[in-house]
Amino acid sequence: MAKRVDLLHGSIAGGLAKLALPIMGTSMIQTAYNMTDMFWIGRLGAGAVAAVGAGGMFMWMATSLVILARMGGQVRVGQKLGEGDTDGAAHYAQNSIQLCTVLAVIFSLVLILGATPLVAFYRFDSPEVIRTGEVYLRIVGCGMTFSFLGQLLSALITVSGNSRTPLYATFAGLGFNIIMDPLLIFGVGPFPEMGVQGAAIATVAAQLIVLTALLAYIVKDEHLFKKVHFFERPDIPIIREIVKMSFPTALQTAAFAMFSIIMARLVSGYGDVAVGVQKVGSQIESISWMTGDGFAVAVNSFVAQNYGAGNFPRAKKGYRVSMVIIILWGLLCTLILSIWAEPLIGAFIPNDPVALAVGTSYLQILALAQVCSCTETITAGAFQGFGNTIIPSIISISFTFSRIPLSMVLSGTALGLDGIWWAITITACCKGIILPILFIFWLRKMGKQHRLKEDTAI
Protein backbone atom coordinates (compact mmCIF):
# COMPACT_ATOMS: atom_id res chain seq x y z
CA MET A 1 0.00 0.00 0.00
CA ALA A 2 1.44 3.38 -1.00
CA LYS A 3 2.22 5.65 1.94
CA ARG A 4 0.00 8.71 2.34
CA VAL A 5 1.55 12.13 2.91
CA ASP A 6 0.58 13.92 6.15
CA LEU A 7 -0.49 17.38 4.94
CA LEU A 8 -1.58 18.65 8.35
CA HIS A 9 1.74 18.53 10.20
CA GLY A 10 5.46 19.02 9.63
CA SER A 11 7.30 20.99 6.95
CA ILE A 12 5.01 22.77 4.50
CA ALA A 13 7.55 22.71 1.67
CA GLY A 14 8.37 19.08 2.42
CA GLY A 15 4.72 18.02 2.55
CA LEU A 16 3.90 19.87 -0.65
CA ALA A 17 6.95 18.42 -2.40
CA LYS A 18 6.13 14.85 -1.38
CA LEU A 19 2.59 15.20 -2.65
CA ALA A 20 3.30 17.42 -5.65
CA LEU A 21 6.28 15.66 -7.22
CA PRO A 22 4.39 12.47 -8.08
CA ILE A 23 1.48 14.57 -9.36
CA MET A 24 3.82 16.64 -11.52
CA GLY A 25 5.37 13.38 -12.68
CA THR A 26 1.89 12.14 -13.56
CA SER A 27 1.23 15.34 -15.54
CA MET A 28 4.53 14.99 -17.38
CA ILE A 29 3.68 11.38 -18.18
CA GLN A 30 0.26 12.51 -19.43
CA THR A 31 2.00 15.09 -21.60
CA ALA A 32 4.34 12.42 -22.93
CA TYR A 33 1.28 10.21 -23.42
CA ASN A 34 -0.31 12.85 -25.67
CA MET A 35 2.93 13.73 -27.42
CA THR A 36 3.55 10.07 -28.24
CA ASP A 37 0.33 10.06 -30.26
CA MET A 38 1.34 13.29 -31.98
CA PHE A 39 4.83 11.99 -32.73
CA TRP A 40 3.57 8.93 -34.58
CA ILE A 41 0.49 10.54 -36.11
CA GLY A 42 2.68 13.37 -37.39
CA ARG A 43 4.37 10.77 -39.59
CA LEU A 44 1.05 10.36 -41.40
CA GLY A 45 0.97 14.07 -42.34
CA ALA A 46 -0.58 17.32 -41.20
CA GLY A 47 -4.03 16.15 -42.31
CA ALA A 48 -3.98 13.25 -39.85
CA VAL A 49 -2.84 15.61 -37.10
CA ALA A 50 -5.72 17.96 -37.94
CA ALA A 51 -8.23 15.08 -37.72
CA VAL A 52 -6.96 14.05 -34.29
CA GLY A 53 -6.79 17.70 -33.25
CA ALA A 54 -10.50 18.09 -33.97
CA GLY A 55 -11.21 15.19 -31.64
CA GLY A 56 -8.91 16.65 -29.03
CA MET A 57 -11.00 19.78 -28.80
CA PHE A 58 -14.03 17.72 -27.78
CA MET A 59 -11.91 15.92 -25.19
CA TRP A 60 -11.61 19.29 -23.46
CA MET A 61 -15.38 19.37 -23.34
CA ALA A 62 -15.28 15.94 -21.73
CA THR A 63 -12.94 17.31 -19.06
CA SER A 64 -15.58 19.83 -18.01
CA LEU A 65 -18.01 16.99 -17.32
CA VAL A 66 -15.39 15.15 -15.28
CA ILE A 67 -14.84 18.33 -13.26
CA LEU A 68 -18.57 18.57 -12.60
CA ALA A 69 -18.22 15.38 -10.57
CA ARG A 70 -14.59 15.76 -9.49
CA MET A 71 -14.05 19.27 -8.13
CA GLY A 72 -16.76 19.37 -5.48
CA GLY A 73 -16.11 15.76 -4.52
CA GLN A 74 -12.36 16.29 -4.28
CA VAL A 75 -12.65 19.45 -2.18
CA ARG A 76 -15.29 18.09 0.20
CA VAL A 77 -13.42 14.79 0.62
CA GLY A 78 -10.26 16.73 1.48
CA GLN A 79 -12.06 18.98 3.94
CA LYS A 80 -13.80 16.03 5.61
CA LEU A 81 -10.50 14.18 5.95
CA GLY A 82 -9.01 17.33 7.50
CA GLU A 83 -11.87 17.32 10.01
CA GLY A 84 -11.18 13.67 10.79
CA ASP A 85 -14.56 12.56 9.38
CA THR A 86 -13.59 9.58 7.22
CA ASP A 87 -17.19 8.35 6.93
CA GLY A 88 -18.30 11.72 5.58
CA ALA A 89 -15.38 11.79 3.15
CA ALA A 90 -16.30 8.32 1.85
CA HIS A 91 -19.92 9.37 1.35
CA TYR A 92 -18.86 12.32 -0.82
CA ALA A 93 -16.47 10.08 -2.76
CA GLN A 94 -19.22 7.55 -3.39
CA ASN A 95 -21.67 10.09 -4.82
CA SER A 96 -18.95 11.75 -6.88
CA ILE A 97 -18.12 8.40 -8.50
CA GLN A 98 -21.77 7.64 -9.23
CA LEU A 99 -22.30 11.05 -10.85
CA CYS A 100 -19.12 10.68 -12.91
CA THR A 101 -20.21 7.29 -14.26
CA VAL A 102 -23.56 8.65 -15.51
CA LEU A 103 -21.90 11.65 -17.19
CA ALA A 104 -19.34 9.37 -18.87
CA VAL A 105 -22.03 7.18 -20.45
CA ILE A 106 -23.94 10.21 -21.74
CA PHE A 107 -20.85 11.79 -23.31
CA SER A 108 -19.85 8.48 -24.90
CA LEU A 109 -23.18 8.39 -26.73
CA VAL A 110 -22.75 12.00 -27.87
CA LEU A 111 -19.35 11.26 -29.44
CA ILE A 112 -20.36 7.96 -31.02
CA LEU A 113 -23.72 9.09 -32.42
CA GLY A 114 -22.80 12.70 -33.17
CA ALA A 115 -19.34 12.31 -34.73
CA THR A 116 -20.40 13.53 -38.19
CA PRO A 117 -21.90 16.93 -37.19
CA LEU A 118 -19.16 17.49 -34.60
CA VAL A 119 -16.36 17.11 -37.17
CA ALA A 120 -18.35 19.06 -39.78
CA PHE A 121 -18.13 22.11 -37.51
CA TYR A 122 -14.47 22.55 -38.51
CA ARG A 123 -15.20 22.82 -42.25
CA PHE A 124 -12.15 20.80 -43.25
CA ASP A 125 -11.22 20.89 -46.93
CA SER A 126 -10.16 17.25 -47.28
CA PRO A 127 -12.80 14.47 -47.32
CA GLU A 128 -10.14 12.12 -45.93
CA VAL A 129 -9.52 14.39 -42.95
CA ILE A 130 -13.28 14.51 -42.30
CA ARG A 131 -13.64 10.73 -42.49
CA THR A 132 -10.62 10.14 -40.27
CA GLY A 133 -11.84 12.65 -37.70
CA GLU A 134 -15.23 10.93 -37.47
CA VAL A 135 -13.69 7.49 -36.99
CA TYR A 136 -11.31 8.83 -34.34
CA LEU A 137 -14.17 10.41 -32.36
CA ARG A 138 -16.26 7.23 -32.41
CA ILE A 139 -13.41 5.08 -31.15
CA VAL A 140 -12.31 7.39 -28.33
CA GLY A 141 -15.98 7.78 -27.44
CA CYS A 142 -16.03 4.10 -26.51
CA GLY A 143 -13.40 4.80 -23.85
CA MET A 144 -15.00 7.74 -22.09
CA THR A 145 -16.01 5.74 -19.02
CA PHE A 146 -12.38 4.61 -18.57
CA SER A 147 -11.12 8.17 -19.01
CA PHE A 148 -13.71 9.83 -16.75
CA LEU A 149 -13.33 7.41 -13.85
CA GLY A 150 -9.55 7.36 -14.21
CA GLN A 151 -9.37 11.12 -13.76
CA LEU A 152 -11.82 11.16 -10.86
CA LEU A 153 -10.26 8.28 -8.93
CA SER A 154 -6.79 9.79 -9.38
CA ALA A 155 -8.05 13.03 -7.78
CA LEU A 156 -9.78 11.26 -4.88
CA ILE A 157 -6.74 9.09 -4.15
CA THR A 158 -4.48 12.14 -4.31
CA VAL A 159 -6.58 14.28 -1.96
CA SER A 160 -6.31 11.48 0.61
CA GLY A 161 -2.54 12.12 0.60
CA ASN A 162 -1.44 9.41 -1.86
CA SER A 163 -0.14 10.81 -5.13
CA ARG A 164 2.13 7.87 -5.97
CA THR A 165 -0.54 5.38 -7.02
CA PRO A 166 -1.93 7.69 -9.78
CA LEU A 167 1.67 8.16 -10.96
CA TYR A 168 2.29 4.42 -11.23
CA ALA A 169 -1.06 3.82 -12.93
CA THR A 170 -0.47 6.57 -15.49
CA PHE A 171 3.04 5.28 -16.14
CA ALA A 172 1.64 1.82 -16.90
CA GLY A 173 -0.82 3.30 -19.38
CA LEU A 174 1.89 5.37 -21.05
CA GLY A 175 4.17 2.36 -21.38
CA PHE A 176 1.44 0.44 -23.13
CA ASN A 177 0.61 3.38 -25.39
CA ILE A 178 4.24 3.92 -26.40
CA ILE A 179 4.54 0.28 -27.43
CA MET A 180 1.20 -0.08 -29.20
CA ASP A 181 1.03 3.24 -31.05
CA PRO A 182 3.56 2.48 -33.79
CA LEU A 183 2.44 -1.16 -34.01
CA LEU A 184 -1.20 -0.25 -34.66
CA ILE A 185 -0.61 2.93 -36.68
CA PHE A 186 1.89 1.50 -39.17
CA GLY A 187 1.20 -2.23 -38.90
CA VAL A 188 4.12 -4.16 -37.48
CA GLY A 189 4.29 -7.95 -37.28
CA PRO A 190 0.84 -9.46 -36.78
CA PHE A 191 -0.82 -6.05 -36.39
CA PRO A 192 -2.62 -4.51 -39.40
CA GLU A 193 -1.84 -0.96 -40.55
CA MET A 194 -4.65 1.14 -39.05
CA GLY A 195 -3.38 4.73 -39.15
CA VAL A 196 -5.27 7.15 -36.92
CA GLN A 197 -7.70 4.39 -35.93
CA GLY A 198 -4.79 2.48 -34.42
CA ALA A 199 -3.80 5.49 -32.33
CA ALA A 200 -7.36 5.81 -31.04
CA ILE A 201 -7.53 2.11 -30.11
CA ALA A 202 -4.18 2.32 -28.30
CA THR A 203 -5.39 5.36 -26.36
CA VAL A 204 -8.62 3.68 -25.21
CA ALA A 205 -6.74 0.52 -24.19
CA ALA A 206 -4.21 2.59 -22.24
CA GLN A 207 -7.04 4.39 -20.40
CA LEU A 208 -8.46 0.99 -19.44
CA ILE A 209 -5.09 -0.05 -18.03
CA VAL A 210 -4.88 3.13 -15.92
CA LEU A 211 -8.38 2.60 -14.54
CA THR A 212 -7.67 -1.06 -13.77
CA ALA A 213 -4.55 -0.12 -11.79
CA LEU A 214 -6.48 2.47 -9.78
CA LEU A 215 -9.29 0.02 -9.04
CA ALA A 216 -6.73 -2.53 -7.85
CA TYR A 217 -5.55 0.04 -5.28
CA ILE A 218 -9.08 0.95 -4.21
CA VAL A 219 -10.02 -2.68 -3.52
CA LYS A 220 -7.13 -2.94 -1.02
CA ASP A 221 -7.44 0.55 0.50
CA GLU A 222 -8.12 0.54 4.25
CA HIS A 223 -8.37 4.31 4.73
CA LEU A 224 -11.05 5.94 2.56
CA PHE A 225 -12.40 3.60 -0.09
CA LYS A 226 -13.20 0.69 2.21
CA LYS A 227 -16.12 2.85 3.40
CA VAL A 228 -17.28 3.73 -0.11
CA HIS A 229 -20.34 1.75 -1.22
CA PHE A 230 -20.57 2.11 -4.99
CA PHE A 231 -23.96 0.44 -5.42
CA GLU A 232 -25.89 2.26 -2.73
CA ARG A 233 -28.65 4.63 -3.77
CA PRO A 234 -27.21 8.07 -4.66
CA ASP A 235 -27.68 10.81 -2.08
CA ILE A 236 -29.35 13.55 -4.15
CA PRO A 237 -28.64 16.44 -1.70
CA ILE A 238 -24.95 15.46 -1.65
CA ILE A 239 -24.84 15.28 -5.44
CA ARG A 240 -26.47 18.71 -5.62
CA GLU A 241 -23.82 20.06 -3.25
CA ILE A 242 -21.04 18.53 -5.36
CA VAL A 243 -22.50 19.95 -8.57
CA LYS A 244 -23.05 23.37 -7.00
CA MET A 245 -19.43 23.60 -5.92
CA SER A 246 -18.11 22.11 -9.16
CA PHE A 247 -20.31 24.02 -11.58
CA PRO A 248 -18.27 27.25 -11.86
CA THR A 249 -15.06 25.31 -12.60
CA ALA A 250 -16.86 22.93 -14.96
CA LEU A 251 -18.42 25.90 -16.76
CA GLN A 252 -14.99 27.49 -16.96
CA THR A 253 -13.53 24.38 -18.60
CA ALA A 254 -16.50 23.96 -20.94
CA ALA A 255 -16.28 27.61 -21.93
CA PHE A 256 -12.55 27.20 -22.52
CA ALA A 257 -13.25 24.22 -24.75
CA MET A 258 -16.01 26.04 -26.67
CA PHE A 259 -13.91 29.16 -27.12
CA SER A 260 -10.97 26.99 -28.22
CA ILE A 261 -13.16 25.26 -30.80
CA ILE A 262 -14.18 28.67 -32.15
CA MET A 263 -10.53 29.71 -32.15
CA ALA A 264 -9.66 26.51 -34.02
CA ARG A 265 -12.28 27.41 -36.59
CA LEU A 266 -10.59 30.79 -37.04
CA VAL A 267 -7.27 28.99 -37.40
CA SER A 268 -8.78 26.60 -39.96
CA GLY A 269 -9.29 29.61 -42.22
CA TYR A 270 -5.53 29.46 -42.77
CA GLY A 271 -5.70 25.83 -43.93
CA ASP A 272 -5.62 22.31 -42.50
CA VAL A 273 -1.88 22.62 -41.84
CA ALA A 274 -2.49 25.50 -39.44
CA VAL A 275 -4.96 23.38 -37.43
CA GLY A 276 -2.50 20.50 -37.28
CA VAL A 277 0.34 22.76 -36.22
CA GLN A 278 -1.75 24.29 -33.43
CA LYS A 279 -2.54 20.79 -32.17
CA VAL A 280 1.13 19.79 -32.12
CA GLY A 281 2.23 23.13 -30.68
CA SER A 282 -0.34 22.99 -27.88
CA GLN A 283 0.81 19.49 -26.97
CA ILE A 284 4.41 20.65 -26.73
CA GLU A 285 3.41 23.74 -24.76
CA SER A 286 1.29 21.64 -22.42
CA ILE A 287 4.43 20.40 -20.65
CA SER A 288 4.25 23.75 -18.84
CA TRP A 289 0.59 24.18 -17.98
CA MET A 290 -0.20 20.49 -17.44
CA THR A 291 2.61 20.31 -14.90
CA GLY A 292 1.26 23.49 -13.32
CA ASP A 293 -2.19 21.92 -13.30
CA GLY A 294 -0.77 18.84 -11.59
CA PHE A 295 0.91 20.97 -8.94
CA ALA A 296 -2.38 22.82 -8.48
CA VAL A 297 -4.01 19.51 -7.49
CA ALA A 298 -1.43 19.22 -4.68
CA VAL A 299 -2.12 22.80 -3.58
CA ASN A 300 -5.86 22.12 -3.70
CA SER A 301 -5.46 19.03 -1.51
CA PHE A 302 -3.10 20.81 0.91
CA VAL A 303 -5.39 23.82 1.32
CA ALA A 304 -8.57 21.73 1.58
CA GLN A 305 -7.22 19.49 4.34
CA ASN A 306 -5.66 22.31 6.38
CA TYR A 307 -8.67 24.57 5.98
CA GLY A 308 -10.93 21.69 7.01
CA ALA A 309 -8.71 21.20 10.08
CA GLY A 310 -9.09 24.90 10.95
CA ASN A 311 -5.43 25.76 10.25
CA PHE A 312 -5.88 28.81 8.02
CA PRO A 313 -2.29 30.19 8.38
CA ARG A 314 -0.78 26.87 7.24
CA ALA A 315 -3.13 26.72 4.25
CA LYS A 316 -2.16 30.28 3.27
CA LYS A 317 1.56 29.62 3.62
CA GLY A 318 1.23 26.52 1.45
CA TYR A 319 0.01 28.72 -1.39
CA ARG A 320 2.95 31.10 -1.04
CA VAL A 321 5.48 28.28 -1.13
CA SER A 322 3.85 26.77 -4.21
CA MET A 323 3.91 30.10 -6.07
CA VAL A 324 7.68 30.37 -5.73
CA ILE A 325 8.14 26.87 -7.11
CA ILE A 326 5.73 27.28 -10.03
CA ILE A 327 7.18 30.64 -11.13
CA LEU A 328 10.62 29.03 -11.42
CA TRP A 329 9.08 26.21 -13.46
CA GLY A 330 7.30 28.68 -15.77
CA LEU A 331 10.54 30.56 -16.40
CA LEU A 332 12.31 27.33 -17.35
CA CYS A 333 9.52 26.43 -19.81
CA THR A 334 9.67 29.93 -21.33
CA LEU A 335 13.37 29.48 -21.94
CA ILE A 336 12.96 26.03 -23.52
CA LEU A 337 10.11 27.02 -25.84
CA SER A 338 11.88 30.22 -26.93
CA ILE A 339 15.22 28.63 -27.77
CA TRP A 340 14.20 25.20 -29.11
CA ALA A 341 10.90 26.01 -30.83
CA GLU A 342 12.01 24.98 -34.32
CA PRO A 343 13.56 21.58 -33.50
CA LEU A 344 10.61 20.74 -31.22
CA ILE A 345 8.08 21.31 -34.02
CA GLY A 346 10.32 19.58 -36.54
CA ALA A 347 10.42 16.46 -34.39
CA PHE A 348 6.65 16.04 -34.70
CA ILE A 349 5.97 17.25 -38.24
CA PRO A 350 9.13 16.52 -40.27
CA ASN A 351 9.77 17.50 -43.88
CA ASP A 352 7.12 20.25 -43.99
CA PRO A 353 8.70 23.74 -44.23
CA VAL A 354 5.35 25.54 -43.98
CA ALA A 355 4.31 23.66 -40.85
CA LEU A 356 7.76 24.21 -39.35
CA ALA A 357 7.58 27.99 -39.84
CA VAL A 358 4.03 28.28 -38.47
CA GLY A 359 4.77 26.02 -35.50
CA THR A 360 7.98 27.80 -34.57
CA SER A 361 6.16 31.13 -34.48
CA TYR A 362 3.40 29.59 -32.35
CA LEU A 363 5.78 28.28 -29.68
CA GLN A 364 7.90 31.42 -29.50
CA ILE A 365 4.87 33.65 -28.99
CA LEU A 366 3.18 31.32 -26.48
CA ALA A 367 6.47 30.99 -24.58
CA LEU A 368 5.89 34.49 -23.20
CA ALA A 369 2.74 33.36 -21.36
CA GLN A 370 4.11 30.32 -19.53
CA VAL A 371 4.77 31.92 -16.14
CA CYS A 372 1.34 33.56 -16.07
CA SER A 373 -0.39 30.34 -17.15
CA CYS A 374 1.23 28.57 -14.20
CA THR A 375 0.40 31.28 -11.64
CA GLU A 376 -3.23 31.31 -12.76
CA THR A 377 -3.48 27.53 -12.38
CA ILE A 378 -1.92 27.43 -8.90
CA THR A 379 -4.06 30.32 -7.66
CA ALA A 380 -7.22 28.68 -8.99
CA GLY A 381 -6.26 25.48 -7.17
CA ALA A 382 -5.85 27.38 -3.89
CA PHE A 383 -9.16 29.19 -4.36
CA GLN A 384 -10.88 25.85 -4.96
CA GLY A 385 -9.25 24.26 -1.92
CA PHE A 386 -10.91 26.93 0.23
CA GLY A 387 -14.20 26.09 -1.47
CA ASN A 388 -14.37 29.22 -3.66
CA THR A 389 -14.75 28.15 -7.29
CA ILE A 390 -16.56 31.27 -8.52
CA ILE A 391 -13.81 33.93 -8.65
CA PRO A 392 -11.27 31.91 -10.70
CA SER A 393 -14.05 30.82 -13.06
CA ILE A 394 -15.20 34.39 -13.71
CA ILE A 395 -11.67 35.56 -14.48
CA SER A 396 -10.93 32.58 -16.72
CA ILE A 397 -14.18 32.73 -18.69
CA SER A 398 -14.00 36.50 -19.19
CA PHE A 399 -10.47 36.63 -20.55
CA THR A 400 -10.71 33.38 -22.51
CA PHE A 401 -13.80 34.73 -24.26
CA SER A 402 -11.95 37.95 -25.06
CA ARG A 403 -9.55 35.90 -27.17
CA ILE A 404 -12.16 35.59 -29.90
CA PRO A 405 -12.70 39.31 -30.71
CA LEU A 406 -9.02 40.06 -30.01
CA SER A 407 -8.00 37.30 -32.45
CA MET A 408 -10.30 38.71 -35.11
CA VAL A 409 -8.80 42.17 -34.68
CA LEU A 410 -5.14 41.14 -34.57
CA SER A 411 -5.39 38.54 -37.37
CA GLY A 412 -6.88 41.25 -39.56
CA THR A 413 -3.62 43.19 -39.32
CA ALA A 414 -0.23 42.42 -40.84
CA LEU A 415 0.22 39.79 -38.11
CA GLY A 416 -2.17 37.42 -39.87
CA LEU A 417 -2.19 33.99 -38.19
CA ASP A 418 0.33 35.22 -35.60
CA GLY A 419 -2.35 37.63 -34.41
CA ILE A 420 -4.32 34.64 -33.07
CA TRP A 421 -1.26 33.37 -31.18
CA TRP A 422 -0.73 36.86 -29.72
CA ALA A 423 -4.37 37.02 -28.58
CA ILE A 424 -3.90 33.76 -26.65
CA THR A 425 -0.68 35.02 -25.05
CA ILE A 426 -2.05 38.43 -24.05
CA THR A 427 -5.18 37.03 -22.41
CA ALA A 428 -3.20 34.30 -20.62
CA CYS A 429 -0.91 36.95 -19.12
CA CYS A 430 -3.92 38.98 -17.96
CA LYS A 431 -5.39 35.95 -16.15
CA GLY A 432 -2.07 35.04 -14.54
CA ILE A 433 -1.60 38.56 -13.14
CA ILE A 434 -5.14 39.54 -12.13
CA LEU A 435 -6.18 36.31 -10.40
CA PRO A 436 -3.27 36.24 -7.88
CA ILE A 437 -3.93 39.91 -7.05
CA LEU A 438 -7.58 39.13 -6.33
CA PHE A 439 -6.52 36.13 -4.24
CA ILE A 440 -4.29 38.30 -2.05
CA PHE A 441 -7.20 40.62 -1.25
CA TRP A 442 -9.51 37.65 -0.70
CA LEU A 443 -6.98 36.06 1.71
CA ARG A 444 -6.87 39.27 3.74
CA LYS A 445 -10.65 39.20 4.07
CA MET A 446 -10.58 35.51 5.04
CA GLY A 447 -7.80 36.22 7.55
CA LYS A 448 -9.90 38.87 9.31
CA GLN A 449 -12.85 36.48 9.51
CA HIS A 450 -10.58 33.73 10.85
CA ARG A 451 -9.14 35.97 13.56
CA LEU A 452 -12.63 37.18 14.52
CA LYS A 453 -13.77 33.56 14.87
CA GLU A 454 -10.78 32.76 17.09
CA ASP A 455 -11.41 35.82 19.27
CA THR A 456 -15.08 34.87 19.62
CA ALA A 457 -14.12 31.32 20.61
CA ILE A 458 -11.80 32.66 23.30
> Which of 51-60, 288-297, 329-338, 421-430 bottoms out in mean pLDDT, i.e. has the lowest?
51-60
Identify the pLDDT of residue 33. Answer: 67
pLDDT tens digits for range 127-166: 877 888 888 889 988 989 999 999 899 989 888 888 888 8
- Torsion on CA atoms 403, 408, 414, 419, rounded to nearest 10: 20
> Which of 49-58, 269-278, 432-441 bottoms out in mean pLDDT, i.e. has the lowest?
49-58
User: Collapsing DSSP states into helix, strand and coil, what is residue 10?
Assistant: coil
Q: Label residues 307-336 b or e (16+ Cβ within 10 Å = b).
A: bbbebbebbbbbbebbbebbbebbeebbeb
Average model confidence (pLDDT) for the chain? 84
Alpha helices in 84-126 (DSSP H): 86-113, 115-120
Q: How far apart are CA 124 and CA 373, in angstroms?
A: 30
Where are the domains positioned within the chain?
12-451
Question: For the chain, how big is the Rg over CA atoms in Å?
Answer: 22
Give 254's pLDDT tier (boundaries 50, 70, 90).
confident
Write a three-state SS string for 352-407. Answer: CHHHHHHHHHHHHHHHHHHHHHHHHHHHHHHHHHCCCCHHHHHHHHHHHHCHHHHH
**Is there a contact between 354 and 273 (Cβ–Cβ < 8 Å)?**
yes
Quick one: DSSP state of residue 105? H
Give 95's pLDDT tier (boundaries 50, 70, 90).
very high
The greatest distance separating any two alpha carbons of the chain, rounded to the nearest whole angstrom, comes to 75
**Is there a contact between 1 and 253 (Cβ–Cβ < 8 Å)?**
no
pLDDT at 426 over 70: yes
Give the DSSP per-residue string, 252-312.
HHHHHHHHHHHHHHHHHTT-HHHHHHHHHHHHHHHHHHHHHHHHHHHHHHHHHHHHHTT-H
pLDDT at 103 over 80: yes
Q: Label residues 249-262 b or e (16+ Cβ within 10 Å = b).
A: bbbbbbbbbbbbbb
**Is there a contact between 156 and 77 (Cβ–Cβ < 8 Å)?**
yes
